[in-house]
């Protein structure tokens, strides 16, 4: 940046050129900062997602062993290992079906974008009334 002595005039074109150059530099810096932040956030999300997947796999395997143990224990109680496994499997099937029906019922009642729908209806009334 150059300094001028009092009394020296700066042309409007020179001022506009400097302003545009400064704005361009500012925008470039902001974009570079945004790019760096997005990269940092993406890396953090990827790491957390990896940990989440590993945890879900571990929990799933653990749950499978727990259910197998439950089936074997019930099978021992009823005197039939296949019977115990069938009882546990049937209980899981009933619970899964119940949760599935509940989810379907909730999804049927849920309306997406309620506010947008309300705004569109209000706009349609406004246009229809000619206001």
What distance, in Å, lies between the first and last C-alpha atoms of the chain? 55
pTM of the model: 0.52
In whole angstroms, what is the distance from residue 126 CA to residue 123 CA?
A: 5
Q: What is the CA radius of gyration of the chain?
A: 33
For the stretch 13-68, pLDDT in tens is 999 999 999 999 999 999 999 989 999 999 999 999 999 999 999 999 999 999 99
> Can you give the residue ranges of every domain in the chain?
12-129
Q: Are 10 and 4 in contact (CB under 8 A)?
A: yes
Percent of the chain with pLDDT over 70: 90
**Residue-level pLDDT at 121:** 82
For the stretch 90-119, pLDDT in tens is 999 999 999 999 998 888 777 666 777 777
């Amino acid at each position: 940046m150059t300094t001028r002595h009092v009394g020296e005039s700066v042309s409007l074109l020179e001022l506009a050129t400097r302003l545009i150059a400064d704005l361009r530099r500012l925008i470039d810096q902001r974009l570079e900062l945004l790019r760096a932040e997005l990269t940092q956030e993406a890396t953090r999300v990827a790491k957390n997602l990896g940990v989440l997947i590993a945890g879900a796999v571990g929990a799933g395997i653990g749950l499978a062993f727990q259910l197998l143990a439950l089936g074997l224990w019930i099978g021992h109680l009823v005197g039939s290992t296949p019977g115990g496994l069938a009882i546990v499997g049937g209980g899981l099937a009933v619970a899964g079906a119940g949760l599935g029906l509940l989810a379907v019922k909730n999804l049927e009642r849920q309306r997406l974008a309620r506010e947008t729908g309300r705004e569109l209806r209000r706009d349609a009334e406004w246009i229809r009334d000619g206001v």
